[in-house]
Amino acid sequence: MSAPEIKKSILDHLTYSIGRPPSLASKQDYYKALALTVRDRLQQHWVETVQAYLEQDLKVACYLSAEFLMGPHLGNNLLNLGIENEVRQAVKEMGCELDELLAEEEEPGLGNGGLGRLAACYMDSLATLERLALGYGIRYEFGIFDQEIRDGWQCEITDKWLRSGNPWEIAKPEITYYVNFGGHTEYYRDEAGAERIRWVPDRAVKGMAYDTPIQGYRVNTCNTLRLWSAEACESFDFQAFNTGDYYGAVDDKVISETITKVLYPNDEPEIGKRLRLLQQYFFVSCSLQDMLRLLDAQGQPTQRFPEKFAVQLNDTHPSIGVAELMRLLVDERRLSWEDAWDITVLTFGYTNHTLLPEALETWPLPLFRELLPRHLEIIYEINARFLASVRETHHQDDEHVKRLSLIDENGEKRIRMAHLACVGSHAINGVAALHSELLKRSVLKDFYELWPERFNNKTNGVTPRRFMALANPKLSELITRTIGDGWITHTEELRMLEPFSEDAAFRKEWRLVKQSNKQQLADYILKQTGIELDPSWMFDVQVKRIHEYKRQHLNILHVITLYNRLKRDPKLAIAPRAFIFGGKAAPGYFIAKRIIKLINAVGEVVNNDPDVNKKLRVAFVPNFNVQNGQLIYPAADLSEQISMAGKEASGTGNMKFTLNGALTIGTLDGANVEIRDEVGEENFFLFGLTTEETLRLQQQGYRPYAYVEGNSELAEAIRLIASGHFSHGDTEVFRPLVDNLCQSDPFLVFADYADYIACQDKVAGVWKDPENWTRMSILNTARAGKFSSDRAIREYCDEIWDVRPVPIMIKDKT
């Protein structure tokens, strides 16, 4: 597509789609007209991709996820189509700057963090690797809240991402499904006289599809992200309307539409809310009905379902799908239980994303019975057959059987969704080597002993398109100029950079790129916070959700330690550092919100104290999201991956930093272990207890206060926080945090403090030798190829889904 063609299309869209003469058009209008221009192009690829699916007997990967954290579409689509230069020129001729139009896009924040962003990276890789795929999820009207910082505290602002419309999606009112809730079940006799069960629901909502095209990088494959939006079945209950109950009549509509209103903003812990279960069932039912419709449309028998669809459960959130597919096959399609079960298990794969016990989803039985009475019966039946087979073939004792059961009978009875997912899937995986091993040893041990062959590891990955080529154009240009552009789709080629780590001229260019990225971030931070950062300082960055296990408070204890050292001796020669934090806390997470307040409070004191602020600064970047993440990862020197060992399933931010040449200070947790293996232990700053050591320490009876007594720097830091030094004399505000650490410290912050500080001192030493630091930085990028989502998706496709590449030909390029 040439610049003149693009220009013409933008003008056409201004006139015909938006209805504004160019002289009156705002930046937002231009952005939309450009987005529609790009979308037209995607649609051509999309039609050909769908055509290929219809003409050939192909298998599709269906990724079921309650979250898709896509990030802005425009920049990514221009990159993947390879038309950025033409577009830049076209809009310039119309008096616009492309960067200004890019800034007009509201980020679709339909996810909380790593899990939702992983789904988005996987969609990018599936299309780029030319694998047919459908992403199925929820079109939340309000995504993750916008975070503002007021007086150091997090404030949550409703995310109205749809307020100016969404040019990337296409509403498909013809693709709708009914989803039932509530009511009861009853026996009846079918035409042949056989006794069957039917569900008599007392409510229904309609799910409508909104499709977003997902374009692969420089290929013709364009897949679909299909998000479901809930609507009332009828606008009014006319019965109620006619009898004068107007408000009662709209009530049903209001309740139905509530289902997809808002994303639950909790990153990990279980919430157990009724509306959340409704959301899960709603999108899963729509998605499975959609697959069955596609199967029928191709004239395929139901038995072929697993040959046509590989359905991946992104955590347990969609795991009700196991019971729903059984219901659709047995009740609606009248398959035998045995046939339906074979189909179900062959179809599903389950990815576990967390070991945190409080995050493992369970639903109270009464709630389940009230909303999904038929599914409860089906789960009972699955459980009865499963436990009978366990008793029979594995001779398990009662205790064992109890532990395996889909129903937790300790206290209030609850359905264990992870167990349902395990029983209903032929493949079960963790998201990093360590995590997959720990799964087998802890939460899923009994299932591993039963079916070791179902367990496997799929280490996470991130897309190098968005997180390198798009986010870090300068580094990408340097790399491409040096080793060619093959790395964008074959990140293992980054290895070719290794010898250049010994080339002083190359190192200088590498440093200049980093410097320029840091300047850009410093400008952004100044604008957002008023805090000035010097790009020649070390940028020490921790961005991720705020959670105790991720230990942002360990990081801030290091800041306070350096502050104390400088206060004691203002002439102390320490390497100047900017500590940059970012991340949202779940609105109801009391301690996490106090950690944000502490970071800002320490920042206020440090940044305003002339004794220290020439060597230390602290900035909290508000509203960490995909968009500003793209500014942050390329500007980091040091990546903080300091979770307590055994708690972070994988992490994916760690990979984004490494690919962009940051060095990591980290524990042996999640994918850090593999990052260190790849980049070499000499290029990684390791500290902290191992998983085994944390378990041992906690078993022995951990006494956090002993560590305070044994370490004067730690004692001083804690004393300062407690004394109100960072809170204008207020000794109450941080008391819950201090008490929690001193009395229980569930994530072993104190136990790891001394080793962390020693390691940070080592970091500071290495930083003093810029040539060596740069050498290490280059080697980090060069050896991080494994962490591309392309590698991860190839493994899923080859080892779990059996989904092959299908090159798409464009027949009629007009």
Q: Which residues are catalytic?
A: 353, 544-545, 550, 652, 656
Tokens representing 759?
């390691």
Q: Which of 9, 65, 77, 112 binds ligand GL2 (CB under 6 A)?
A: 112
CA–CA gap between residue 697 and residue 751 (Å, rounded): 9
Strands 348-351 and 133-138: unpaired
In the complex with ligand GL2, the residue whose CB is nearer, 143 or 306, is: 143
- Shortest separation between residue 796's beta carbon and ligand GL2, angstroms: 13
In the complex with ligand GL2, the residue whose CB is nearer, 105 or 267, is: 267
The set of residues, in sequence order, having a beta carbon less than 8 Å from that of 674 and lying 6+ positions away, is 432, 433, 459, 786, 787
Q: For the window 456-475, what string marks contact with ligand GL2 as x by the rule CB under 6 A?
A: ----x---------------
List of long-range contacts for 402-409, beta carbons under 8 Å, 24+ apart: 403/446, 404/446, 404/447, 404/450, 406/379, 406/382, 407/365, 407/379, 407/380, 407/383, 408/362
Binding status of residue 114 toward ligand GL2 by CB under 6 A = yes
Q: Which of 14, 64, 79, 115 binds ligand GL2 (CB under 6 A)?
A: 115
In the complex with ligand GL2, the residue whose CB is nearer, 125 or 652, is: 652
Binding segment for ligand GL2 (CB under 6 A), chosen from 633-641, 650-658, 739-747, 797-805, is: 650-658
- In 10 A of CB 240, how many CB atoms? 16
Binding segment for ligand GL2 (CB under 6 A), chosen from 6-14, 109-117, 498-506, 558-566, is: 109-117
The set of residues, in sequence order, having a beta carbon less than 8 Å from that of 41 and lying 6+ positions away, is 1, 81, 83
The set of residues, in sequence order, having a beta carbon less than 8 Å from that of 140 and lying 6+ positions away, is 110, 260, 261, 262, 263
- What DSSP assignment string belongs to 654-705? HHHHHHTT-EEEE-S-TTHHHHHHHH-GGGSEE-S--HHHHHHHHHH---HH
In the complex with ligand GL2, the residue whose CB is nearer, 273 or 508, is: 273
Binding status of residue 672 toward ligand GL2 by CB under 6 A = no
The set of residues, in sequence order, having a beta carbon less than 8 Å from that of 60 and lying 6+ positions away, is 53, 132, 133, 134, 308, 309, 310, 803
Binding status of residue 648 toward ligand GL2 by CB under 6 A = yes
Cα torsion angle, 354, 313, 398, 400, sign? negative
Are the C-beta atoms of residues 351 and 314 closer than 8 Å to each other? yes
Q: Which of 265, 582, 651, 704 binds ligand GL2 (CB under 6 A)?
A: 651
Helices (H), 411-472: 417-423, 433-441, 445-450, 464
266-295 binders of ligand GL2 (CB under 6 A): 267-268
- Shortest separation between residue 166's beta carbon and ligand GL2, angstroms: 24
Half-sphere exposure of 771 toward its Cβ, with a 13 Å CA cutoff?
4
- Shortest separation between residue 354's beta carbon and ligand GL2, angstroms: 4
- Shortest separation between residue 113's beta carbon and ligand GL2, angstroms: 5
Binding status of residue 548 toward ligand GL2 by CB under 6 A = no
Bridge partners of 211?
170, 226
End-to-end CA distance of the chain: 10
Binding segment for ligand GL2 (CB under 6 A), chosen from 114-122, 186-194, 361-369, 389-397, is: 114-122
- Shortest separation between residue 460's beta carbon and ligand GL2, angstroms: 5
- Shortest separation between residue 119's beta carbon and ligand GL2, angstroms: 9
Integer angstrom CA distances of residue 298 from 54, 304, 324, 807 = 7, 11, 22, 20
Binding segment for ligand GL2 (CB under 6 A), chosen from 449-457, 644-652, 693-701, 785-793, is: 644-652
Q: How many residues bind ligand GL2 (CB under 6 A)?
A: 17
In the complex with ligand GL2, the residue whose CB is nearer, 268 or 678, is: 268
Binding segment for ligand GL2 (CB under 6 A), chosen from 111-119, 225-233, 514-522, 734-742, is: 111-119
Q: Which residue has the tokens 């790593």?
A: 114
- In 10 A of CB 185, how many CB atoms? 16
- Shortest separation between residue 787's beta carbon and ligand GL2, angstroms: 11
Tokens representing 154?
């997090």
- Shortest separation between residue 137's beta carbon and ligand GL2, angstroms: 14
Q: For the window 337-376, what string marks contact with ligand GL2 as x by the rule CB under 6 A?
A: ----------------xx----------------------
In the complex with ligand GL2, the residue whose CB is nearer, 533 or 649, is: 649
Chain positions contacting ligand GL2, by CB under 6 A: 112-115, 118, 267-268, 353-354, 431, 460, 648-652, 670
